């Protein structure tokens, strides 16, 4: 079995309609309960920061693991972020 790593970076000049369609695809990925595929890394100017962070975390995780549950990935990464934030204030 072969695995692909996909990065999709879009120009700053893409139309609002195209941005809306890409964001809808991202929403579909984030709504998926069990991921049995490598999540692509998707980035464009104007993407909501929270969605950008979530899709990036899933991309990083699914690059190394398949058949993961999205909730576990996001919960683990948020816990790590909280620990990093705590370290900054010590």
Question: What does the alpha-carbon distance between residue 42 and residue 26 come to, in Å, rounded to a whole number?
Answer: 8
Tell me what the mean pLDDT of segment 8-21 comes to.
89
Decide if pLDDT at 74 tops 80: no
Q: Where are the domains of the chain?
A: 7-88
Q: pLDDT exceeding 70 applies to what percent of the chain? A: 64
Are the CB atoms for 66 and 36 separated by under 8 Å? yes
Tell me the β-bridge partners of 68: 35
Question: What does the alpha-carbon distance between residue 55 and residue 37 come to, in Å, rounded to a whole number?
Answer: 13
DSSP codes of every residue in 51-73: HHHHHHHHHHHHHH-SSEEHHHH
Burial 15-28 (b: 16+ CB within 10 A, else e): eeeeeeebbeebee
Ramachandran region, residue 29 (left: φ > 0; alpha: ψ -120 to 50; beta: rest): alpha
Put simply, whether the predicted model's pTM sits higher than 0.75 gets the answer no
């Amino acid at each position: 079995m072969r695995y692909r790593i996909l990065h999709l970076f879009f120009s700053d000049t893409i139309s609002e309609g195209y941005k809306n369609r890409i964001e809808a695809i991202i929403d579909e990925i984030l709504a998926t309960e069990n991921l049995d595929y490598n999540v692509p890394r998707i980035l464009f100017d104007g993407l909501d920061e929270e969605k950008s962070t979530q899709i990036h975390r899933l991309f990083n995780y699914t690059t190394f693991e398949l058949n993961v549950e999205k909730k576990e990935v996001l919960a683990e990464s948020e816990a790590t972020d909280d620990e990093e934030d705590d370290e900054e204030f010590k």
